[in-house]
């Protein structure tokens, strides 16, 4: 043992500090603290390392069984006329919220980018033999933007119009010590200047708090209660309730919309009809358990009543974008086609085109990328134009007369038929040869 009870404090404390720094460097801070370092002995650190190794083995086993081995099965690939083998999955459209799901293999369940330590996503690549590349484009905070629109939440709408990191802003409102740090100039809430900031950003300095804020944002959007958040955050129910109350304090319209949505659905139960909720494009989901006398089943249905209009409407947006991209004659002319959709993300493949100083990733690819972003930013534009030409508006919900302008001001004006949402859809995109490289 490096430490013993016979050692003086002058000897023990530097050694203990060294062990604590080593544990922290390995990412074992909480586990090390929980074990108490076995009275400051190195055996405590060794125990942490052993637990870390077990977690690593479990992570590798999950990666093999859940991702790598299913991708190597013979029955999931087909060979095209030119002898190229491609992996194909089966898509299911009959989900409760309308989102697409995949199986054999589940291509929508590949490791998240930040967790893809073995770079499984590098296996998804373009056809280099034909000098093809990929376009990967996804929506930013799509569900939260849908929630802001459906609830008409002025605070959320203003935040999205002004831009920036929504989760960092939520963390700033949740924690006083973060507010103090920003006001004291210890970090920036966001950075819009050129070059690297001279101080850390909130999302870096307070990554744990921002992660909790992100969980809170999506949990409330999906109807999770304070009881569920208390388990997620490992806090008391009172602390979770206080956190939720702070979130709603600046977003009271969300609470009103959630209560009104559940009450509206219950009215059908009172009139002997099956309760249901609807998405933006008018898809209905029956929720018979809203009328149940069993508290657990009724609670589950109430959460679904809040979740479905948000997640289902996000699925409407993604599906409309897929259709618009697949039907786009300009993309077809350029030789690009849609390969896969992963919830709020689309992946296309096509020719790179001439590489120039202005277009280092390919001129044709860059032209196609702009078209993809255009269709994703307003996936209903052609549908709306056709509806206007017919003298009908179809099923699209149009912008109400109250709206937020580019300066974050609440204004009243005529509806804009070509922009049916209160908030613009945010899209990020990249051109890369593999799914992994399109960060």
Closest CA to 148 of 221, 204, 234, 225: 221
321 and 396 both lie in a single domain: yes
In a domain, 228, yes or no: yes
Residue 33 has pLDDT above 80, yes or no: no
Do 47 and 132 share a domain, yes or no?
Answer: no
Residue 361 placed within a domain = yes
Contact between 356 and 349 (Cβ < 8 Å): no
**Residue 307 counted as domain residue:** no
pLDDT at 4 over 60: no
Q: For the ranges 143-147, 201-205, 395-399, 433-437, which has the lowest average pLDDT?
A: 395-399
Do the beta carbons of residue 325 and residue 375 sit within 8 Å?
yes
- Least-confidence region, from 84-98, 177-191, 273-287, 302-316: 84-98
Instruction: Sort 158 into a burial class: Cβ within 10 Å, 0-12 / 13-18 / 19+.
Output: middle
The answer on 232 and 166 residing in a single domain is yes
- Do 244 and 166 lie in a common domain? yes
Domain assignment present for residue 281? The answer is: no
Q: What is the pLDDT of residues 190-246, one digit of tens each?
A: 887 777 888 889 988 998 889 889 989 988 887 788 888 888 888 889 988 988 888
How many whole angstroms separate alpha carbon 337 and alpha carbon 134?
Answer: 10
Q: How far apart are CA 321 and CA 95, in angstroms?
A: 19
pLDDT value, residue 401:
46
Percent of the chain beyond pLDDT 90?
A: 22
Q: Could you give the CA distance from residue 49 to residue 38 in angstroms, rounded to a whole number?
A: 14
> Which stretches of 148-295 are assigned E, i.e. beta strand?
276-278, 284-286
Q: 40-54, 238-252, 261-275, 280-294: which has the minimum mean pLDDT?
A: 40-54
pLDDT at 373 exceeding the cut of 50:
yes
β-strand partners of 349: 134, 337
Q: Are residues 228 and 175 in the same domain?
A: yes
- State the pairing for strand pair 337-342/427-432: unpaired
Strands annotated E in 140-251: none
Q: In percent, how much of the chain has pLDDT > 70?
A: 79
- Average pLDDT (159-163) is 81
Regarding whether 133 and 25 lie in a shared domain, the answer is no
Please report whether residue 164 resides in a domain: yes
How confident is the model over 265-276, as a mean pLDDT? 72
Domain boundary (18, 35, 68) is at 68
Instruction: Indicate whether 106 pLDDT > 60.
Output: yes
DSSP string computed for 91-104: EE---SSS--EEES
Domain shared by 224 and 163, yes or no: yes
Q: Which residue segment(s) compose the domain that 204 sits in? A: 158-250
DSSP H stretches of helix in 26-113: 29-35, 37-40, 42-63
Dig out the tokens for 438 from the structure: 């399109």
Number of domains in the chain: 3
Q: Which of 308, 286, 290, 288 is nearest to 298 (CA)?
A: 290
78 within some domain = no
Give the pLDDT confidence score for residue 20 in this predicted structure.
54
In this predicted structure, the answer to whether residue 414 has a pLDDT above a threshold of 50 is no
Q: Which residues have CB under 8 Å from 138's CB, separation 6+?
A: 344, 345, 346, 427, 428, 429
Give me the mean pLDDT over the 353-359 stretch.
87
Does residue 436 register a pLDDT over 60? yes
Type and span of the H or E element at 372: helix 363-377
Query: Residue 380 sits in a domain of what CATH number?
Result: 3.30.70.370
360 and 405 both lie in a single domain: yes
Mean pLDDT of the chain: 80
Question: Per DSSP, what are the bridge partners of residue 86?
Answer: 78
Which residues does 335 contact at the CB level (< 8 Å), separation at least 6? 350, 351, 364
Q: Could you read off the pLDDT of 381-411 as tens digits, one per residue?
A: 777 777 667 665 444 544 444 555 666 565 5
Q: Establish if 1 belongs to a structural domain.
A: no
Same structural domain for residues 422 and 320?
Answer: yes
pLDDT score for 112 = 77
pLDDT at 15: 46
The verdict on 52 and 136 lying in the same domain is: no
Query: In terms of domains, do 243 and 324 share one?
Result: no
- Decide: 73 and 31 in contact? Cβ < 8 Å: no
Residue 22's nearest CA partner among 6, 2, 5, 4 is: 2
Q: Is the pLDDT higher at 311 or at 4? A: 311
- Of 264-268, 338-342, 374-378, the poorest mean pLDDT is in 264-268
Range picked from 31-40, 153-162, 370-379 for highest mean pLDDT: 370-379
Q: Is the pLDDT of residue 165 over 80?
A: yes
User: Are residues 232 and 169 part of one domain?
Assistant: yes
In a domain, 2, yes or no: no
Confidence at residue 8, expressed as pLDDT on a 0 to 100 scale = 38
Residue 44 pLDDT class (50, 70, 90 cuts): low
pLDDT-derived band at 61, boundaries 50, 70, 90: confident
């Amino acid at each position: 043992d490096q430490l013993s009870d016979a050692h003086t404090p002058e000897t023990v404390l530097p050694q203990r500090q060294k062990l604590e720094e080593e544990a922290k460097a390995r990412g074992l801070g909480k586990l090390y603290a929980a074990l108490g370092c076995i009275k400051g002995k190195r055996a405590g650190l060794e125990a942490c390392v052993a637990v870390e190794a077990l977690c690593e083995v479990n992570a590798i086993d999950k990666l093999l069984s859940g991702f790598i081995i299913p991708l190597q099965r013979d029955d999931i690939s087909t060979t095209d006329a030119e002898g190229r083998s491609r992996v194909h999955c089966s898509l299911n459209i009959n989900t409760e919220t309308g989102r697409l799901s995949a199986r054999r293999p589940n291509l929508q369940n590949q490791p998240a980018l930040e967790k893809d330590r073995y770079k499984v996503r590098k296996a998804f690549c373009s056809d280099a033999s034909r000098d093809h590349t990929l376009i990967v484009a996804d929506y930013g905070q799509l569900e939260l933007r849908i929630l802001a629109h459906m609830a008409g939440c002025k605070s959320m709408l203003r935040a999205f119009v002004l831009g920036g990191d929504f989760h960092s802003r939520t963390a700033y409102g949740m924690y006083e010590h973060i507010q103090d740090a920003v006001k004291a100039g210890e970090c920036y809430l966001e950075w819009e200047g050129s070059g690297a900031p001279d101080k850390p950003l909130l999302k870096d300095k307070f990554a744990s708090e921002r992660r909790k804020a992100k969980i809170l944002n999506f949990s409330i959007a999906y109807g999770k209660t304070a009881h569920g958040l208390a388990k997620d955050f490992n806090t008391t129910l009172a602390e979770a309730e206080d956190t939720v109350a702070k979130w709603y304090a600046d977003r009271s319209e969300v609470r009103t919309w959630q209560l009104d949505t559940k009450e509206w659905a219950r009215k059908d139960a009172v009139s002997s009809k099956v309760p249901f909720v609807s998405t933006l494009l008018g898809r209905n989901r029956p929720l018979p358990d809203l009328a149940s006398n069993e508290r657990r089943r009724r609670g589950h249905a109430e959460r679904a009543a809040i979740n479905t209009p948000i997640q289902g409407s996000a699925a409407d947006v993604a599906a409309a974008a897929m259709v618009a991209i697949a039907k786009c004659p300009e993309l077809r002319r350029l030789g690009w086609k849609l390969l896969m959709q992963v919830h709020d993300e689309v992946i296309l493949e096509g020719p790179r085109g001439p590489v120039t100083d202005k277009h280092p990733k390919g001129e044709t690819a860059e032209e196609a990328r702009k078209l993809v972003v255009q269709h994703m930013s307003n996936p209903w534009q052609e549908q709306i134009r056709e509806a206007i030409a017919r003298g009908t508006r179809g099923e699209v919900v149009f912008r109400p007369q109250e709206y937020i302008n580019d300066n974050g001001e609440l204004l009243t004006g005529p509806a804009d038929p070509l922009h049916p949402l209160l908030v613009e859809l945010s899209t990020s995109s990249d051109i890369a040869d593999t799914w992994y490289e399109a960060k």
